[in-house]
Structure 1
Amino acid sequence: MRDIAHVEVAVRNAYDRAMRQHWHAADHWLLDPASPVLAPLWRTRHGRRADMNARNRSTVADARFHCGGPSAKPGQVIAELSFGFWRHCTDAAHEKALWVPYLHHAWPKKTSRAVVERSMTTINTARNRASHHEPLFGAKPGRDLIAAHAEVLRLSELLSPELAEYIRDTTTLTATLTARP
């Protein structure tokens, strides 16, 4: 969980930085209703129209509430958002609205959105299983900790080679996997 927490904070901070540098409006990008994270984003799913940002609006509203409501500072709200929120911002539905104009700036040139999304999904699944005290070993999705850790290192390396080196040097995953029954 510690290694995941490091990459979670790195992704969160990189996305906030990219959005702040490229979102040009009076309000902070996360609190502006016109933001591509919050504005209605209609897509057709299974033959029905769906607002892909409905969950984002709800998540941000909940985070604002927990941080003091309308007076909450953007940094507080950002810190309150889960890794799943940031993963969702990287999905295919948000490619044109978020990735292309904003979030790709958080990554090295030519970084594939789909690769980042797959990495984040693998990490998020393992993170949620651990957080909910679910089984972490076996063949089912989310139970391959070695794969999840490889994705932690991949994203860390892309965002900050120093972070990736720190995680490699301090991880306890190898010892944990070696010692497990």
Structure 2
Amino acid sequence: MYPPFTADEEHHLPNVLSAPRFATYLRETGNDRTRALHLYHWNLQVSAAFMVPLHVLEVALRNAIVEAIEAVHGGTWPWTQGFIRSLPNPRGPAYSPKRDLEGCAAQQPTAGKVVAELKFVFWEKMLTNRHQGRLWDDHFYAVFPDAPRGVAANQRRSELRSDIEAVRRLRNRIAHHEPVFPRALQDDFDRIIRCIRWRNETTSNWVLEIETVRALLAVRP
């Protein structure tokens, strides 16, 4: 699967990638430069492969949450004070959903464009217990219709939030070009598929047909 590296590649690639970055891969492979390069190559491939299910998950998640918000606050929710006041606004450098929304809403002309600009963490924060009474008691199973039934919406919402938090960490590592090989990537993949399935099982089945993550996990160097 992996062609051999040339002598020039083995010499130059670690320097171009930077010694500190490459050291992570060397440690994993017992300071074997060739094996470390193969692992780096694989890490690139699996990171790219994860973008397909991550893409579908993010779009499915935010559309589901928007449906719940609109059911309570209407189609102009990004500018509705009742919704804005419901958002946390921590001081200092901590992420603020309220500031994120107000910043996007001030620059974008439509709710759809606001949705596209909000950070992924905004949608994760919408799944916290803070919004249980306002949104999720009445609307969780409506917008995640294929989530398993038999327990209160609060429990399923909490489970989804936990999965999304773990997925966000993976997404951030990929976005910042960090190593993902130390993670339990099969667990990450299973979380992503589960979250998509809760929104719509047909969509999760489609992702399973087109994704390449599992094939790469089977050939990790």
Q: TM-score scaled to structure 2, two decimals? A: 0.64
* CA-to-aligned-CA distance 1:31-52 (integer Å, 9 cap, x gap): 21211xx205679xxxxxx68x
Deviation at 1:74, TM superposition (A): 0.5
Which has the larger share of helix? 2
Task: Specify the alignment match of 1:122 in structure 2.
Answer: 166
Whole-Å Cα distance in 2 between the matches of residues 6 and 39 of structure 1?
30
Query: Paired residue for 1:133?
Result: 177
Give distance in 1, aligned partners of 2:217 and 2:88.
Answer: 44
Structural mapping, 1:29-178, within 5 Å? 29-35=77-83, 38-40=84-86, 55-65=96-106, 69=107, 72-108=109-145, 110-111=152-153, 112-138=156-182, 143-178=183-218
CA displacement, residues 85-105 of structure 1 (integer Å, 9 cap, x when unaligned): 111110123323332354553
2:66 matched residue in structure 1: 16
- Which structure has the larger Rg? 2
CA distance in 1, matches of 2:88, 2:208: 41
Q: Secondary structure at the match of 2:169?
A: helix
SS at 1:148 equivalent? helix
RMSD: 2.5
Q: Aligned pair in 2 of structure 1 residues 32, 104: CA closer, same or farther (>3 Å)?
A: farther
User: Hey, what's the Cα distance between the residues in 2 that align with 1:98 and 1:17?
Assistant: 10
Contact 1:63 1:80 in 2 (8 A): yes
Q: Bigger CA drift: 88-97 or 148-157?
A: 88-97
Q: CA offsets, 1:74-124, max 9 Å, x none?
A: 100011122211111101233233323545531235451111111111111
**Partners of 2:78 and 2:102 within 8 A in 1:** no
**Is the strand fraction higher in 1 or 2?**
1
TM-score by length of 1: 0.77
Residue 204 of structure 2 aligns to a residue in which SS? helix
Unaligned runs of 5+ in 1: 44-49
